[in-house]
Amino acid sequence: MIEYPKFSEFAKDDAALDGEKIKLKDILNQEILILGHSIHKSKFKDENYLTIQFEKDTKRYIIFTGSCVLMDQIEKYADKIPFITTIRDFVLNKPCKHQSYLKQQYHKYIMAPSKKYAFTKEILIDLHINQKKTPNEIAEMYGCSRSLVTHYLKKYEIGKLPKFKRLEGKRFNRLLVVKYLGIDKNKCALWRCKCDCGSETVLTSGVLIGGHIKSCGCLTKELTTKHRMVQTRPYSIWRGMKTRCNNPNAINYENYGGRGISYDPRWEQFELFWEDMKDSYFDGSTIERIDNDKGYCKSNCKWATVQEQNYHKRNSIILTFNGFRKTITEWSNEFKITPRRIYYLHERGLSEDEILSKLILGKQNG
């Protein structure tokens, strides 16, 4: 038998294997992360003992055992430490005539390490520090345990980010969370947020999740304005106009502000917008630009029904006949036919006069 140092000597020389002492039976059939081991001679018996240091649920433990099977296997896989494994309950069986069979099963199922994960310092810095992924999220990506990820974070001396909810890209009322800025003196996560009005503000996770603040402050100003029209349709239309022109995060920004469409600086204030447009307003109407390539101003805007506005979209096809300019939908309503018929003639390459002449002729024959 190989002569190992006595445990009393080993304990003095090796302080690395620290942790809470636990019995082997308490961790059987559970996934653990092996961190280190040592084999030493018992102080009281003429036999060897094995010390294993491991992590479970981010807590560090050590166990002492005299299992010769475990000793064989831990030495076999020593070069793979750290690794995740499970100690099965039948390793505690006493040696018998079937000992070789037990060892064969043990080789296959008990201490065989999980696959080695390609955790490098660069990968962990990118995932944890740059992308702000938690150890749990990284573990799910790689299909390993959280303990293994935290072990490598410690090994590479990568400071673990404080616990906080990842809110980047989420919306809270008028606020869109843009970027994580760090931790304040009260250990709260700080976030840069962009409001629908275009302004930016910095808020903590608690304030955002709790719903205490709904905007950068513009909502409060709106609710305390003198015109008392915040809850009306004209006010919503005015706000939507400003959002389309100013906010790159707006759904249809590319068709408005993204292609240079703006509004009269005078209309920055709702009162002045309403002063210019209130006389022609009617219930259910929406604001429409007469020339789709120009911005919003009194001379280029009118109130129209939703149907009329749909007729005059930028992608609408306009046909001119006898001095009248109308969309395909408007012409189809006049001739009482489906728009599909006119689209078909247009796609065949017929001129405007040829299309409308055919429609008139068809109407007369019909």
Q: What is the DSSP letter of 258?
A: G
The whole-model pTM stands at 0.35
Q: What is the DSSP letter of 145?
A: -
Question: Lowest-confidence range among 40-54, 146-160, 213-227?
Answer: 213-227
Cα–Cα distance measured from residue 14 to residue 101, given in angstroms and rounded to the nearest whole number: 35
Q: What is the pLDDT of residue 96?
A: 42
Query: Does residue 164 form part of some domain?
Result: no
Same domain? For 105 and 33 the reply is yes
Query: Does residue 236 form part of some domain?
Result: yes
pLDDT tens-place string over residues 174-209: 899 998 888 888 878 899 999 988 889 999 888 888
Q: Give yes or no for a contact between 29 and 89, defined as CB atoms under 8 angstroms apart.
A: yes
pLDDT tens-place string over residues 321-364: 777 777 777 777 777 777 777 777 777 777 777 777 777 666 65
Query: Does residue 165 form part of some domain?
Result: no
What's the average model confidence in pLDDT over 20-48?
81
> Which band of pLDDT confidence, cut at 50, 70 and 90, is reported for residue 8?
very low
Same domain? For 12 and 103 the reply is yes
**Domain end residue (candidates: 311, 332, 351):** 311
Query: Does residue 116 form part of some domain?
Result: no
Q: What is the pLDDT of residue 57?
A: 77
Q: Give yes or no for a contact between 193 and 170, defined as CB atoms under 8 angstroms apart.
A: no
Query: Does residue 160 form part of some domain?
Result: no
**Token pair in block for residue 201:** 């503000």
Cα–Cα distance measured from residue 317 to residue 88, given in angstroms and rounded to the nearest whole number: 74
**Domain end residue (candidates: 202, 219, 236):** 219
Same domain? For 22 and 93 the reply is yes
Query: Does residue 252 form part of some domain?
Result: yes
Query: Does residue 86 form part of some domain?
Result: yes
Same domain? For 211 and 254 the reply is no
Query: Does residue 333 form part of some domain?
Result: yes
Q: What is the pLDDT of residue 356?
A: 74
Same domain? For 51 and 80 the reply is yes
Question: Lowest-confidence range among 81-85, 89-93, 277-281?
Answer: 89-93
If one counts the domains in the chain, the total is 5
pLDDT tens-place string over residues 269-313: 888 899 899 888 988 888 988 888 899 999 999 998 876 766 656
Closest CA to 192 of 179, 183, 208: 179
Name the residue with higher pLDDT: 199 or 164: 199
Q: Which domain, by its residues, includes 59?
A: 7-109
Name the residue with higher pLDDT: 219 or 116: 219
